[in-house]
Amino acid sequence: MMLMADMQLRESSDGRQSLDTALQSISGCCMENGRTWRASEMFKQLDNLTGTVIFTGLYRKYVHGEGFPDMHSTWENLGIDIRNNQVKLSDDAPLADLRSTIMKG
């Protein structure tokens, strides 16, 4: 879910926001010592800080589902191919530049 959130934030903000910037924002404002967060509260706060509904949308869509979200099309668009326990990266995938940006941090 967080990879999906990262991708959506980067795409919707033309790279100005990312999962990294969202987590820095929440760390800077809201992580008092000993505070326990419910996942729904954390995702709502991340949306408030980013001015989006990306996190709560993903929460509603996936958190109560069984198993993991199907990531095959995401991996394909990012140019990530996993076969025989090996990862191969393709630079000609539609979102290969986004993958490179995410990996650089």
Query: What does the pLDDT read at residue 30?
Result: 85
* Alpha-carbon gap, residue 17 to 9, rounded angstroms: 6
Instruction: Please check whether residues 51 and 75 belong to one and the same domain.
Output: no
Instruction: Please check whether residues 12 and 56 belong to one and the same domain.
Output: yes
How many domains, in total, are found in the chain? 2
User: Any idea what DSSP says for residue 32?
Assistant: -
Q: Count the neighbouring beta carbons within 10 Å of the beta carbon of residue 21.
A: 16
φ, ψ at 86 (rounded to 5°)? -125, 145
Q: Tell me the pLDDT tens digit for each residue of 30-43.
A: 887 778 889 999 99
Instruction: Please check whether residues 10 and 32 belong to one and the same domain.
Output: yes
pTM recorded for the entire structure: 0.85
Query: What does the pLDDT read at residue 24?
Result: 94
Question: Domain limits at 92?
Answer: 70-105
Instruction: Please check whether residues 29 and 65 belong to one and the same domain.
Output: yes
Instruction: Please check whether residues 45 and 55 belong to one and the same domain.
Output: yes
Q: Are 9 and 52 in contact (CB under 8 A)?
A: yes
Query: What does the pLDDT read at residue 23?
Result: 94
Write out residues in the chain with pLDDT < 70, as ranges: none
